[in-house]
Amino acid sequence: MTRYVIRRLLWVVVLLFLVSALTFVIFFVLPSTDPAALRAGKTRDPEVINAIREQLGLNKPKIEQFWIYLKGIVLHFDFGHSYLNNLNVRDEILSRLPATISLSLGALVIWLFVGISVGIISAVRRRSLMDRAAMGTTLVMISAPVYWLGLVSLLLFSQGIGVIPIFPGSGSYTPLSEDPWKWFTSLILPWLVLSAAFAAIYARILRANMIETLSEDYIRTARAKGLSERRIVLGHALRSAITPIVTLAGLDLGVLLGGAILTETVFNIPGVGRLSYDAIIHGDLPTVQGTVLFGAFFIVILNLVVDIAYAYLDPRVRYT
């Protein structure tokens, strides 16, 4: 197991290198912006543009820029400075991570709770009215674009502009460290909006898994042992059906930690997603690189965590 983890971690390093190289290449091959010219704004003075180019380190050969960048990361964990506002990319990402983590983890809790409950009930009461209603609702949730859902929820429930103004709306995000209660209330709507589609998908997946599991031989065995239905469903069927859900949750969380762009945008939450989106639009390579690397890091690390968790969840899986 240890060897397996070490090997995987080495792969993570290789993968992150490849990702950053690829981002670099994409950035320079595709027609993007000229960061120095953009930073110079209206000015046409070549001296000024060159001074900015020098400040940004863009006067050096591309390979050297990449080398300097990599060296910065490896030696100082330094991801460079934004082309747009000269902010330290690492600090900027780290300062925005709490918002993204708050958003993602809170949504994860909600969608797991809702998705799993609905999935179980629907599977156990298959074809009942409740099952049909739940599955119909999930279809709507899955089809509803997050952005649209966000706007609708704001117009319905947010203070200031909502019809039933019960929750704080866009731009109300407050860090947990500043005011836990405000943090909580300001995130209620974003959590619900972000978790809606996930909860729906998870409910459907879990329902299908449960139905499949409930027809397994070992469930028949459990019944033959005289176990209660509750124990059969929650102890035996759920235990198997939930394994893929755990895997999925890990991966989805990894992706979200890279930034829940749309939700962060509608609710004006200063998270990593917004940062990366703005950076991409304005051709801010260091920030793009930084957010992509952080995002990739979360994806591969959570993937590793999921694989390790899998070995614990499913004793048939062993890594060497």
Partner 1 sequence: MSPLLEIEDLRVSFRTEDGVVGAVDGVSLSVDRDRTLGIVGESGSGKSVTGLTVMGLTRGRSTTISGSVRFDGRELTTASDAELRTVRGNDIAMIFQDPLSSLHPFYTVGRQLTEAVRAHRDVGQGEAHDRAVELMRLVGIPEPEQRMRAYPHEFSGGMRQRAMIAMALVNDPRLLIADEPTTALDVTVQAQILELIGELQKRLGMAVIIVTHDLGVVAEIADDVAVMYAGRIVEQAPKEGLFGAPRHPYTWGLLGSIPRLTAPRDEALVPIAGRPPSLIHPPSGCRFHPRCPYVRPHHTRIDPQLEPTGDPDHDVACLLPDPVRRALWAKLAAGATPQEARATEDEMMGPPTETETETQAGRP
Partner 2 sequence: MYRSSVRAAAGLIAMLALVLLVAACGGNGGSSTSASTAGGGTTTTSGGGSGEVGQPVTAPPDNAKSGGTLTVLSAGDVDYIDPGLAYYSFSYQALQPTLAPLYSYAPGDPSTPMPILADGDPQISNDGKTITVKIKTGFKFSPPVDRAVTSKDVKYAMERAFTKQVPNGYMSAYFGNIEGVKAFQDGKAKDVSGIETPDDQTIVFKLTRGGPVVGALVLPVTSPVPEEYAKKYDAQNPSTYGQHQVSAGPYMLESYKPTRSITLVRNPSWDKDATGDPRPAYLDRVEFQEGNEDPNVASRRILDGESLVSGDFPPPPALVKSTVQGAKKDQIQFNPGAGTRWVSMNTQMKPFDDVNVRKAVLAVFDRNAMRLTRGGPLIGDIATHMLYPGVPGFEEAGGMKGPGNDFLANPSGDPQLAADYMKKAGFADGKYSGPPILMVADNSGVGAQGALVAQQQFEKLGFKVTLRQVTHDTMYTKYCNVPKANVQVCPNVGWIRDFADPQPVLDPTFNGKNIVPQNNSNWPQLDDPQINAAMDKAEQITDPGERAKAWADIDKMITAQAPLVPWLWDKFPTIQSANVAGVNALWNEGSYDLAYTSLK
Catalog residues that contact partner 1 under the rule CB under 8 A. Answer: 216-218, 220-229, 236, 239-240, 243, 313-316
Which residues are CB-contacts of 41 (< 8 A; sequence separation ≥ 6)?
none
Whether the Cβ atoms of residue 272 and residue 291 lie closer than 8 Å to each other: yes
- Rounded Cα distance between 256 and 110, Å, is 14
Which residues are CB-contacts of 26 (< 8 A; sequence separation ≥ 6)?
none
Which residues are CB-contacts of 142 (< 8 A; sequence separation ≥ 6)?
197, 200, 201, 204
Query: Which partner, partner 1, partner 2, none, binds residue 216 by CB below 5 to 8 Å per kind?
Result: partner 1
The minimum distance between CB 64 and partner 2, in angstroms, equals 19
Task: Considering the complex, state which of residue 31 and residue 226 has its C-beta at the smaller distance from partner 1.
Answer: 226
Query: Which partner, partner 1, partner 2, none, binds residue 249 by CB below 5 to 8 Å per kind?
Result: none
The minimum distance between CB 98 and partner 2, in angstroms, equals 13
Binding site for partner 2 (CB under 8 A): 15, 19, 22-23, 26-27, 30-34, 37-38, 40-49, 51-52, 54-55, 85-87, 92, 151, 154-155, 160-161, 169-171, 247, 251, 254-255, 258, 265-266, 268, 270, 274-275, 277-278, 280-283, 288, 292, 295-296, 299-300, 303-304, 306-307, 319
The SS3 call for residue 44 is coil
Whether the Cβ atoms of residue 213 and residue 241 lie closer than 8 Å to each other: yes
CA angle (60 as vertex; 57, 61 as ends), nearest 5: 135
- Residue 221, token pair as written in the block: 């065995």
Task: Considering the complex, state which of residue 247 and residue 268 has its C-beta at the smaller distance from partner 1.
Answer: 247
Query: Which partner, partner 1, partner 2, none, binds residue 222 by CB below 5 to 8 Å per kind?
Result: partner 1
Q: Which amino acid belongs to residue 233?
A: V
Q: Taking the CB of residue 283, how many other CB atoms lie within 10 A of it?
A: 18
Whether the Cβ atoms of residue 156 and residue 163 lie closer than 8 Å to each other: yes
- Rounded Cα distance between 295 and 305, Å, is 15
Query: Which partner, partner 1, partner 2, none, binds residue 223 by CB below 5 to 8 Å per kind?
Result: partner 1
Query: Which partner, partner 1, partner 2, none, binds residue 42 by CB below 5 to 8 Å per kind?
Result: partner 2
Which residue bears the tokens 């469930």? 219
Task: Considering the complex, state which of residue 5 and residue 139 has its C-beta at the smaller distance from partner 2.
Answer: 5
Task: Considering the complex, state which of residue 187 and residue 206 has its C-beta at the smaller distance from partner 1.
Answer: 206
Percent composition of the chain: helix, strand, coil (DSSP 3-state, to 5): 75, 0, 25
- Rounded Cα distance between 186 and 181, Å, is 8
The minimum distance between CB 316 and partner 1, in angstroms, equals 5
Query: Which partner, partner 1, partner 2, none, binds residue 265 by CB below 5 to 8 Å per kind?
Result: partner 2
The minimum distance between CB 163 and partner 2, in angstroms, equals 11
Query: Which partner, partner 1, partner 2, none, binds residue 148 by CB below 5 to 8 Å per kind?
Result: none
Task: Considering the complex, state which of residue 62 and residue 231 has its C-beta at the smaller distance from partner 1.
Answer: 231
Task: Considering the complex, state which of residue 57 and residue 184 has its C-beta at the smaller distance from partner 2.
Answer: 57
